[in-house]
Chains A and B, each alone.
Chain A
């Protein structure tokens, strides 16, 4: 089962190593991990996507909580969270494909953020399924390069976390 863990951690050298080290030492999986500053400069937010059965997820959560640099861990599973991911996708665009490319961009409410004679770079934001779907539609046109940010998550207002 895939779980998205939303963490608040101390913004210190070593925090990321400790967390990454925990996952590797105990054989837990990391599907994606993002770190970013928060409104408080001493705190970073981290979103970790991982998978495992309930016992494993419980251990991961407890082990993370045990780390002294971790302030708070929330498993977003079953809670009301907004999740987003952004991707930048560079596609080949032969003249005859441009209309199709722009149509896909439009459908997904994405944007072309860079273009050259034979390529477009598209930016898309949404939940991961949406990004997967868009990439699938663009593939036949020829995806040259692709980067994804990994997920970030934030509790919806009005729910306790």
Chain B
């Protein structure tokens, strides 16, 4: 039977098992939307901005392990997806994004809402396709889903001219894909894996340094098995959190710029680093020459370009993490004799315990103000690690990474590589759409939530009861922290003078708004938020002067971490007007005069 391009697209999505589509209509995709209207197999979640749609697709993908799908119109609809495409590329999130395009006869004519999205997205997609003939559509879709999900996952874009969606052809969906120029290496080289096993058996102070690759390849069980088998401590990158259980005694916490002291120092003192599904990102390594000066390095990754890009390694292994770890475990299990020397391991563990005792993660609570770290600890306490948690970008993101103990990598949604403010809320909505019965929480900042806040409407209409916990410090906190520490306390444009009243704002959208201002209110407010079956914004007024520690200052080595504000640090100027509250007693002018800090220009009301 002959079908139109639009009907073929929907048929293909069904064959790929797509149950949810995140999108926004416009002129050139109306034919498609007409078909969507006539079927019930695929749910379409109408976002309020195409950036929202693509982050939703990301949240859906990361939380399920399936490919996320988005559909947008040409021109501005397509260009609004660019940030999300970059985000997905950097964090290896499998997506297929359909963009409408002007009819083939008009391409290149600067037609209304024509944007060269193929050219624009060349560098931020794993691959992209312009479909010029309806006969090519089904095969292209098959290839797109295959490319997005296989190898190192990533975003694929399909540009669909309007006439192609109306043209008809005989429909048949290919069963398999063969691309002669694309063959990801899945099994690692046996010889290299044997070498790795030998190095592991010789190691006295090994550390497993693992990342997002463990989560994407579903290798969590293998990682736990390996760590147990060779009695090896584990540290995770930001993207790798949850790949190893946060509550496991062998877990050292996150490493890198805001990692734990013990994780960074264990790496520094280690004699064997087993790097799995990581890419030696600069926020992890700090000054790269002094990152792991004494260690032999085994590096397992599916992407050959990740290996020896930032650091020289001794035993590179290209392959899918799950397969490589399984093979490695097999070799180790069959080995004669012990895999490690118990006394040596005890010494190593004792050394790590000393590191932890010297500089544990911590902060000072106060009876007056809520500390942001305390909020994360409370969320963990109340959820026991059973929620899906997303974040935006800033201090609140780092506090979440430090203080929430993730049990499952697919429950952790954050923008690691690109650091996209505005990611968290839509990503959580995508996850909630895929997991209607789970508790989905976004930890956001008062700055970040205002990027993509419009998706509150999406949450309400689609009954996606995400709980958005806004750690409201009235600042672009992470920017303020750097200005305080490295720019002479010149708080240039980091104070968000006119923050909206988030409670009223939530209510205006038909969601629930709650606020906590005092430490003793925190638990009850969070419990209420988790109880109601609606989207909730919780405005948590937190201490604005709190900084993220420990911290490796930019350009420094990881062993040069700092743990607290310098002794001569001034309190951060606080605003006088907190929405929904009586004005604070101090005027900003007086507060900053007392603090004897220069008054930021932004404070003039």
Contact = CB atoms under 8 A, between A and B. Distances in A.
Given A59-B309, A68-B147, A69-B181, A21 B122 contact: yes
Contacts of B119: 17
Contacts of A62: 304-305, 307
Contacts of A18: 122
A71 interface: yes
B147 A71 contact: no
B378 to A, nearest CB: 43
B126 A68 contact: yes
A68 B305 contact: no
Interface in A1-49: 9-10, 13-14, 17-18, 21, 25
Nearest to B179: A68
A106 interface: no
30 contacts: A10-B181, A13-B130, A14-B118, A14-B122, A14-B128, A17-B119, A21-B122, A21-B123, A25-B123, A55-B308, A55-B312, A58-B308, A59-B305, A59-B308, A59-B309, A62-B304, A62-B307, A63-B305, A65-B304, A66-B303, A66-B304, A66-B305, A68-B127, A68-B147, A68-B182, A69-B181, A70-B181, A71-B180, A71-B181, A72-B181
Nearest to B152: A66
Interface string B277-296: 00000000000000000000
B181 A68 contact: yes
Nearest to A25: B123
Contacts of A58: 308
Nearest to A70: B181
- Please name the 4 residue pairs, one residue from A and one from B, whose CB atoms are nearest each other, closest first: A71-B181, A62-B305, A68-B127, A62-B304
Nearest to A20: B122
A18 B124 CA distance: 11
A75 to B, nearest CB: 14
A19 to B, nearest CB: 10
Of the four ranges (under 10, 10 to 19, 20 to 34, 35 or more), the interface on chain B belongs to: 20 to 34
Contacts of A14: 118, 122, 128
Nearest to B312: A55
Interface in B137-182: 147, 179-182
Contacts of A68: 126-127, 147, 179, 181-182
Contacts of B123: 21, 25
Interface of A: 9-10, 13-14, 17-18, 21, 25, 55, 58-59, 62-63, 65-66, 68-72
Contacts of B127: 68
A146 to B, nearest CB: 32
A14 B515 CA distance: 52
A25 B125 CA distance: 13
Contacts of A66: 303-305
Contacts of A10: 181
A68 B122 CA distance: 12
B142 to A, nearest CB: 14
Contacts of A72: 181
A25 to B, nearest CB: 5
A9 B180 CA distance: 10
Given A10-B181, A62-B304, A68-B182, A17 B122 contact: yes
Given A62-B304, A62-B305, 9 more contacts: A14-B118, A21-B122, A55-B308, A55-B312, A59-B308, A62-B307, A68-B127, A68-B179, A68-B182
Contacts of B312: 55
Interface string B176-195: 00011110000000000000
Nearest to B127: A68
- Among A58, A59, A68, A71, the one with the most B-chain Cβ atoms within 10 Å of its Cβ is A68
A1 B309 CA distance: 18
B143 to A, nearest CB: 9
Nearest to B309: A59
A74 to B, nearest CB: 14
A43 to B, nearest CB: 9
Contacts of A69: 181
Nearest to A65: B304
Interface in B102-140: 118-119, 122-123, 126-128, 130
A65 B152 CA distance: 13
Nearest to B182: A68
A25 B312 CA distance: 22
Contacts of B122: 14, 17-18, 21
Nearest to B147: A68
A72 B180 CA distance: 10
A55 B181 CA distance: 24
Nearest to A58: B308
B356 to A, nearest CB: 36
Contacts of B182: 68
- Among B118, B304, B307, the one with the most A-chain Cβ atoms within 10 Å of its Cβ is B304
Nearest to A15: B181
A89 to B, nearest CB: 36
Contacts of A71: 180-181
A18 B126 CA distance: 11
Nearest to B151: A66
A62 B119 CA distance: 23
- Among A17, A25, A58, A62, the one with the most B-chain Cβ atoms within 10 Å of its Cβ is A62
Interface in B294-353: 303-305, 307-309, 312
A127 B130 CA distance: 39
A16 to B, nearest CB: 11
Contacts of A59: 305, 308-309
Contacts of A17: 119, 122
Nearest to B304: A62
A9 to B, nearest CB: 8
Contacts of B304: 62, 65-66
Nearest to B126: A68
Nearest to A71: B181
A119 to B, nearest CB: 39
A124 to B, nearest CB: 35
Contacts of A21: 122-123
- Among B130, B181, B308, the one with the most A-chain Cβ atoms within 10 Å of its Cβ is B181
B85 to A, nearest CB: 14
A72 B118 CA distance: 24
A68 B178 CA distance: 12
B502 to A, nearest CB: 39
B83 to A, nearest CB: 17
A69 B118 CA distance: 15
Contacts of A55: 308, 312
A65 B151 CA distance: 13
A64 to B, nearest CB: 10
Nearest to A17: B122
B299 to A, nearest CB: 13
Nearest to A72: B181
A44 B122 CA distance: 20
B50 to A, nearest CB: 23
Nearest to B306: A62
Contacts of B305: 59, 62-63, 66
